[in-house]
Amino acid sequence: MNAHDEDRMKELLRQAVSRVDDDAKAGRDLWPAMRKRMEARPAGLAQFHFSWFDWALAAGLVAFVGFLPSSIPVILYYL
Amino acid sequence: MQNDVSKVLDEFREGRAGTFEAAFETLFHQHQRAVYGWILRIVRNPAAAEDLTIETFWRIYKAHARFEPARGFEGWARRIATHAALDWLRALRPEDELPPDIPSVSTGNPAITAEIRRMTGLAFGRLPPKLRIAATLAVVEEQPYKDVAAALGISVGAVKLRVFRALRLLRKDLEREGMKP
């Protein structure tokens, strides 16, 4: 694709997809929704969130090490 | 006035109970319109832009300790907003069409038919999100390459390359559909 083709494609794209108005603004005040989200999930707690899969993986690892204590050096080696 | 701005930014970054929430609310009201406008330019869907504005400020709220006042709040917020919008575009199905009711600037050219416009719009929606976002901001929205690069966290050269690849893919896609752009 040469420079002429590139300019042609740019023009075509500008015709197909309109530019957003510079004065576009949200249809509602977003602060109440923001406030609601902050109250629902405090940031400090969100940092320490673990999914059920994390817990299941940890439980599986503990059980495995419990049954086979000799595997501990092998696990540590691969960490 | 300048002192007030830097005081708010310092209070936001420090995150101390009592001043942090008020500083965050001030920053939200000061920047929500700019953040919403930037996101709307990328996602071109007003409802999604509203949700993503809240998502962006939520990420800002959580990441306050990583904010560097010397680098400015607006650029930082724009970068987070761009990544939130990119995540949304990645989750979007390729066949989803752009909504026609966004507040836009008319640039109609009678030489280009409605059918060509429609097919180009559809082909544009099928572009990979990383290329689509660069082409939207640099070509459609005519934002300076420097600003696009800062928002995407890449170099100006990389933005130019992404725009070129987007246009080339778009051309190939249209040719496959039987159009000669």
The pLDDT tens digits of the residues spanning A40-51 come to 866 554 455 677
Nearest to B126 by CA among B88, B81, B174: B174
Nearest to B74 by CA among B126, B18, B32, B103: B32
Report the residue of B51, B107, B163, B173 to disrupt the A interface, i.e. the one with the largest count of A CBs within 10 Å: B107
Nearest-CA distance A55 → chain B (Å): 24
Is A35 domain-assigned?
Answer: no
CATH number at residue B55: 1.10.1740.10
Residues of B in contact with A14 (CB under 8 A): 107, 139-140
Residue B79 and residue B12 in one domain: yes
Residue B12 and residue B80 in one domain: yes
Nearest to B180 by CA among B125, B108, B122, B112: B112
Mark yes or no for CB contact A18/B105 under 8 Å. Answer: yes
d(CA B118, CA B115): 5
Domain that holds residue A64: 52-79
Domain count across chain B: 2
Residue B73 and residue B138 in one domain: no
Domain that holds residue B86: 2-91
Q: Around A47, how many Cα atoms within 13 Å sit in the side-chain half-sphere?
A: 8
pLDDT tens figures, B28-61: 999 999 999 999 999 999 999 999 999 999 999 9
Burial bucket for residue B51 (CB in 10 Å: 0-12, 13-18, 19+): middle
- pLDDT of res. B60: 94
Residue B80 and residue B121 in one domain: no
DSSP H helical segments within chain A, as ranges? 3-16, 31-40, 43-46, 52-67, 72-78
Nearest-CA distance B71 → chain A (Å): 23
ipTM of the complex: 0.72
Domain count across chain A: 1
Of A19, A30, A34, the CB nearest to B140: A19
- pLDDT of res. B108: 57
- pTM flag (> 0.80): no
